Amino acid sequence: MGKITKIKVKNFKSFGNSYQEFEFDKDMTLIYGANGHGKTTLLQAINYAFFGKVNGLKISELINNINLSNMEVRINYEEMNNEYEIVRGEKPKKLEIYKNGDLLDNTSSTRIDQDYIEKEIIKINQSAFNLLISLDSTLLTKSFITMSKRERKEFIEYILDIRILYNIEQISKSRLQYIKTILTDLEYKISNQKSLLEAEIHHLEKVKIINEDITTNHHSKIEVLETTRKENEEKIEKYKLALSKMKEIKETIKVSKDELISTQESYTKILEELKKSKSVLDRKEEQYSSYKTCLGCDKLSEIIDDTEITEEDIHSLKSEILSKQPEMKTLKGRVGDLKGSIEKLESSVSGEYKFKLNVEHLIQSNSEIDKEIIKIKEYKILNEDSSKIDMINGHLEELEEELRKFNVDKRNLEYLLKVISDEGIKKQIFMKYIPIFNNYLNEYVTQFDLPYNIIFDDVFEVTILERGSERNFNSFSASERLRISLSVIFSFMRLIELRNSFNMNLLMLDELVDSSLSDDNVELLLTFIKDNISTEKEVMVISHRQLDKEMFKKIYKVKKENMFTVYNLGEEE
């Protein structure tokens, strides 16, 4: 059991600048005084020391409004053979924790903060503290029974020390939601990759078909081009053969022309000779005629001189001329023949230039064909590389493996959530302790002189029976509701002791007996607490009601001195 041994307070609310110290023991303590003098302040100081705040008040309202600074609360607490001192203050702000006299520092593994205090030292949070230890008049409106279903569930999980299951549940739900998001994303990515893979396979198949068409088309083109080139080569050979023949003909023409020239020259020479001979003949004939006419003339003799013209001479010249006539005719005929032959030969070679152009054109055409064939052969067909498909398949396998792992995690988390759900292990724990809790509860109800049977079910929904008829909690009087609420609290205290989850040597009743309860019920309550609670705890009763002071071991009279609250030990009239 955790044990508060001492508290020292200064400049907290109405406390002054000097420390006021209080020690705790197992017994009943009464704190009484007039309203507004600070009876509740000590309880609030305990709340502040443990939790750093007081419900319903701002931090600035906790600092003494006269001194305005150096507010400090020191509380000593024993837990598991360790002695702790928690020092908390404002202006300056302070939080120090001493363990067995040594100041604790923050380390990489331990953070000294509020969470550390609640989990490692006092083992209780402020909500449970105010419901089980620090009780005030709001108990009638903030009873466990009046809590919402969610609040009751959280409280039960806390005191049964299964809150960790709730934390695991929340973490698991968050993780499950995250995994579902990841799975949705992975399924989308996988679907996208499959679409990409399908598109890439379709593209590759299409490329192969296109390449096959291109290859077939190229082969056809090459065949056509090679056929054309072969035909051109055949034409070139024919043209070259024709040109070769034309060359021979041209040689023949040249020879014939040379012969024509020679023949013409011979003809011309003979013709000139004939003309000359004829001229000589004509002259001689003239001379001879004149000779015959003027035979014996002195003058003629002078002309003819010593030349003797005879008929034989004339006849001889004529014969010579006549003898050349056949040759002249032959030469003339030959010239005509040669001219005709040359004209015919030249006509046969008149297409030589055109043939040469055709050969050049065909050679050029074949050159272009060769280039086209090379271009076709060098044409790069579409890429049929399947590495992209392999890459997509690899990525798809990775995504599917990741999906498989996350699906395993999802199934495990869903199973875990089923196990720790309200219908799982938590229900089993509840079912174990509910009968015990109900027994405790009805024992206390009987001791508080209440003729009711109160039963909580496995989800801590309450049923209150009076002689077999069900009653609503709000239908009871304030006194009855208070006694029922205290019965529930005391039952939880015993359940906590049984569970050994957390326990503290303190119970504070702040003006709880000042209303709602009759004098008999107040006496009944205090007697019950003295006999059953104060044997293990320090019970602090704060009241301005006239109580039987014989029931208390310590009595503090609270009053204001010089505007500051002072707690005086011992009854003071």
The DSSP secondary-structure symbol of 123 reads -
> What are the structure tokens assigned to 139, written together?
């108990």
Angstrom distance (rounded) from CA 16 to CA 563: 9
Q: 318-322, 339-343, 472-476, 484-488: which range is least confident on average? A: 318-322
Q: Can the peptide bond before residue 435 be classed as cis, meaning omega within 30 degrees of 0?
A: no
Confirm if 159 and 144 have CB atoms less than 8 A apart: no
Q: Work out whether strand 134-136 and strand 506-510 pair parallel, antiparallel, or are unpaired.
A: parallel
pLDDT, mean of residues 501-508: 77
pLDDT, mean of residues 101-115: 78
Average pLDDT, the chain: 84
Residue from 491, 492, 458, 452 nearest 472 by CA? 452
Confidence at 573, pLDDT banded by 50, 70, 90: very low
**136 burial via Cβ count (<10 Å: 0-12, 13-18, 19+):** middle
Confirm if 11 and 67 have CB atoms less than 8 A apart: yes
Amino acid at residue number 10: K
Question: Where are any strands of DSSP class E within 43-202?
Answer: 71-79, 82-90, 94-99, 102-103, 134-136
Query: Mind listing the pLDDT tens digit for each residue in 178-207?
Result: 999 999 999 999 999 999 889 888 888 888
On the question of pLDDT at 536 being above 50, the answer is yes
Could you give the strand order of the β-sheet that contains 564-569, starting from the edge strand earlier in sequence? 134-136, 506-510, 538-543, 27-33, 554-561, 564-569
Confirm if 30 and 549 have CB atoms less than 8 A apart: yes
What was the pLDDT predicted at 569?
85
Q: Is the CA virtual torsion 277, 280, 286, 292 positive or negative? A: negative
On the question of pLDDT at 455 being above 90, the answer is yes
On the question of pLDDT at 564 being above 90, the answer is yes
Confirm if 131 and 143 have CB atoms less than 8 A apart: no
Angstrom distance (rounded) from CA 15 to CA 275: 176
9 by DSSP, 3-state: which?
strand
Per-residue burial over 369-395, b = 16 or more CB atoms within 10 Å of its CB, e = otherwise: beeebeeeeeeeeeeeeeeeeeebeee
What was the pLDDT predicted at 375?
84
Query: Mind listing the pLDDT tens digit for each residue in 383-434?
Result: 667 788 889 899 999 999 999 999 999 999 988 888 887 777 878 888 888 9
Secondary structure string (H, E, C) spanning 423-452: CCHHHHHHHHHHHHHHHHHHHHHHHCCCCC
Q: What is the pTM of this model?
A: 0.61
Residue from 49, 135, 54 nearest 533 by CA? 135
Amino acid at residue number 84: Y
Most confident of 10-14, 114-118, 477-481, 544-548: 10-14
pLDDT, mean of residues 292-305: 57
